[in-house]
Homo-oligomer: A and B are copies of this chain.
Amino acid sequence: MHFKQQAINVNSHILNVLVNKRKILNDPVFGFIGLQSDLIFDLIEHPYFQRLRRIKQLGLSCLVYPGANHTRFEHALGTLHLMRSAIASLQSKGVEITADEAEAVSVAILLHDIGHGPFSHALEKTIVQGVNHEVLSLELMKILNQQFDNKLELAICIFKNQYHKKFLHQLVASQLDMDRMDYLRRDSFFSGVVEGTIGSDRIIKMLNVANDKLVVEKKGIYSIEKFLIARRLMYWQVYLHKTVIVAENLLINVLKRAKELAMQGTELFAPPHLQWFLKQNYNKAQNLNFELYKSELLSNFVLLDDPDILASIKVWSKHSDPILAFLSDAIINRKLFKIELSDKAFDQQKIEKLKTEYSTLLSVNEHEIDYFVFSNTITNNIYELTSDEITILMNNNATVSIDKASEIDLSAISKKVTKHYLCYPKKLALV
């Protein structure tokens, strides 16, 4: 038996002939999403993209918002849909976007998150080291470009912001990109936090280009203000919800502990590609041969998804290491720790007292107590004034930044806010 290899070889050639690729997909948020080209259809069919079906957009937020089980797959399709609208809207105003550019910018947005792993925040801080998801997205796009006969050149060029029409990159990555337009609306939809919804239709209808820069027409100012406020609300209500923070920190600690044990040679249940990450010594790898490391990393990474992590943690919740077991159980059965939030740093004495208390309670040592009592900060800066400002096109064709065009003091909204948090097990679960 030998059919597997053949299958892969012929795949891309014959598919083109047999399949109707102008498919229409149902989307709860936008209704119907049409695929505009064969290339886009083929990219969606690719295992790299299919993997996004198994990666939740909001990680552990579903522990707070039970409906938030939507995936990066749906999100990517949503951005594709909005990109089509944005292109049509800009073209109707006389902005030149060729058919090739339209496809390329669509491909760029479709693949913008292809490098996301499961629970990205937690994994990038623990077992997926040395690369973040933007870098990985680019690496995977390059591989796809090779597999698709260089048809992704222009998309990659736009993605890297090396194309001469800079506004195309802004549609992919900027304060007003189609990524944000979709995720704010989609996350609001599935979490049920209806107040977070944004008027993406209206904003897209008000986009224009001035001096090769994406701008919003003046009558769209209120929509932009609303967008910024909604985005802020989503940050604090959903993305940085304190229960989500504590869940993510528990996941970080689980993975840290698992890696600690794995590096010590302890046997842990996990799929082989997750085993690879648990046993990898990044610092060492880096010194030897980074290209080789990267290549191995990619081949394991494209297999990694939410079920790997969840299935493993559930098994670990019965592990003989009580720390790993306790932390894993806390996630799987939602026995989350207590979290305190504060505008100021927590008193060091308070933290020490908690550590001492819990060390005794849990019979753990000084090193191990950090898995149970931990403090850190979260930061939210919605709108970075300096780097990438939203620009308004005034009636006299002048452009000004939203900060100047708006009557609201956006420095207040866009202020970098840092909050401190302190987590520890709920007493009741221990005494």
A interface, CB within 8 angstroms of B = 1-4, 6-7, 10-11, 14-15, 17-18, 22, 24-29, 31-32, 45, 47, 50, 53-54, 56, 62-63, 65-67, 69-71, 73-74, 77, 92, 189-195, 197-199, 201-202, 205, 222-223, 225-226, 229-230, 232-233, 236-237, 269, 271-272, 303, 305-312, 314-315, 322-323, 325-326, 329, 332-335, 361-364, 407-409, 412-413, 415, 417, 426-431
Contacts and interface: CB of A to CB of B under 8 A. Distances in A.
A316 to B, nearest CB: 10
Contact of A18 (B4, B7, B428): B428
B50 A334 contact: yes
Given A31-B192, A47-B332, A311-B312, 18 more contacts: A3-B326, A3-B363, A3-B430, A7-B429, A10-B431, A11-B428, A14-B427, A14-B428, A25-B66, A31-B194, A32-B201, A47-B333, A66-B74, A195-B199, A307-B310, A307-B311, A311-B311, A408-B412
Contacts of A335: 7
Chain A interface, DSSP helix/strand/loop, else mixed: helix
B205 A32 contact: yes
19 contacts: A3-B326, A3-B430, A7-B429, A26-B192, A45-B334, A53-B63, A56-B69, A66-B71, A66-B74, A66-B77, A67-B74, A69-B70, A195-B202, A222-B237, A225-B232, A229-B229, A307-B308, A308-B311, A409-B412
A390 to B, nearest CB: 16
A26 B191 contact: yes
A100 B408 CA distance: 44
A205 B191 CA distance: 17
Copies of this protein, total:
4
Contact of A271 (B190, B201, B315): B315
A17 B427 CA distance: 12
A366 to B, nearest CB: 14
B195 A363 contact: no
Contacts of A25: 66
A10 B428 contact: yes
A402 to B, nearest CB: 13
B428 A362 contact: no
Contacts of A329: 4
Contacts of A363: 1-3
B364 A1 contact: yes
Contacts of A326: 3-4
A226 B222 contact: no
A272 B270 CA distance: 11
A420 to B, nearest CB: 15
A24 B202 CA distance: 10
A189 B26 CA distance: 11
Contact of A3 (B65, B193, B232, B322): B322
A404 B407 CA distance: 20
A421 B24 CA distance: 24
A194 B205 contact: no
A251 to B, nearest CB: 14
B271 A311 contact: yes
A27 B315 contact: no
A71 B71 CA distance: 13
A233 B226 contact: yes
Contacts of A230: 226
Contacts of A27: 66-67, 192
Contacts of A22: 92
A18 B128 CA distance: 38
